[in-house]
Amino acid sequence: MKNINNFAKEIRVKSADMLLNMGYGHLGASFSIIETLAALYSGELMKFDPKNPKMEDRDWFVLSKGHGATSYYATLSLLGYFDDSILYTLNHNGTSLPSHPDRLKVVGVDATTGSLGQGVSQAVGIAKGLKIQNKNNRVFSIIGDGEANEGQVFEAAQFAVSKKLDNFVLYIDDNKKQLDGTTDEISIHYNFKNVFEALGFDAVDVDGADAHAILDATQNLLAKQNGKPKCIVLDTVKGQGIEYFAELKDNHHVRFTDSEKELLAEAIATMKEEVNNGNA
């Protein structure tokens, strides 16, 4: 089992290092889901095996907000799905790590995603397929709050409820921002817990910066074998984990200035020291 808090720090270090190496990327969108990834891949929640990525009884994970792939790749690398040297080819020509997850290129990725709304639709389809086969595998998926502008998200949610997919867990990264503004500037800011409860989900609000709280909430909901899909609304901050970037207004995708590169390098050094102290 992983030390879940230290695991989240390790993911953030790797993710920041990848972005610094590239000079730009989806920092905000990647950092806000790191604690959720740490909870999922801690060894206390999902069933998986880096040595056998396609094992039959594994749980499935679908990153519907595919632009958060940087932290997803960092997580898989830390678990041993592939060598971490590959991380520094992120989004380069010929890379096996494209900017959005590709199941044909990235070991450990279960679904190709990026077109918003389509990942969660795949996830509920997988969950239904597993039910048809009488399998106990579960399916976990993360969407963004801006992604919820897509009507397809709610079609998928209705399908999950109508088919009683209690093997499906949906995380909503409620970071209050999207590509070109805040969610309430672009559309409206949903009370996601109320909306998804009304649809027929078991739903809870959770501090999305607390990996233990995310883990506990997920386990508690899964214990309710009542035919309802599960929804965990993550109260997050885009870019969380590094104060400067969390407070940066346009932090969905960042192209770093020279001073920002220096700041990011300093933050990485500080986080590495925290990780080393945590592993001591």
The CATH number linked to 251 is 3.40.50.970
* pLDDT for 252: 87
Q: What percent of the chain has pLDDT over 90?
A: 81
- Alpha-carbon distance of 6 to 16, in angstroms, equals 15
* pLDDT for 186: 84
- Alpha-carbon distance of 36 to 214, in angstroms, equals 7
Asked if pLDDT for residue 3 goes beyond 60, the answer is yes
Q: Which ranges in the chain belong to alpha helices (H)?
A: 4-22, 27-31, 34-40, 69-79, 118-132, 151-162, 183-186, 192-199, 211-222, 243-247, 258-279
Domain residues for 190? 4-279
Torsion of CA 39, 181, 262, 10, to 10 degrees: 0
Conformational region of residue 178, where left means phi above 0, alpha means psi within -120 to 50, and beta covers everything else: beta
Among the residue ranges 4-13, 182-191, 194-203, 242-251, the one predicted with the least confidence is 182-191
Q: What is the pTM of this model?
A: 0.95
Among the residue ranges 127-136, 159-168, 195-204, 242-251, the one predicted with the least confidence is 242-251
Q: Average pLDDT in the 36-61 region?
A: 96
Domains: count for the chain: 1
* pLDDT for 93: 86
Asked if pLDDT for residue 37 goes beyond 80, the answer is yes
The DSSP bridge pattern shows strands 230-235 and 202-207 to be: parallel
Among the residue ranges 54-58, 93-97, 141-145, 178-182, the one predicted with the least confidence is 178-182
Among the residue ranges 52-56, 100-104, 245-249, the one predicted with the least confidence is 245-249
* In the chain, beta strands by DSSP E: 24-25, 60-63, 139-144, 168-174, 177-178, 181-182, 202-207, 230-235, 254-255
Q: Average pLDDT in the 118-145 region?
A: 97
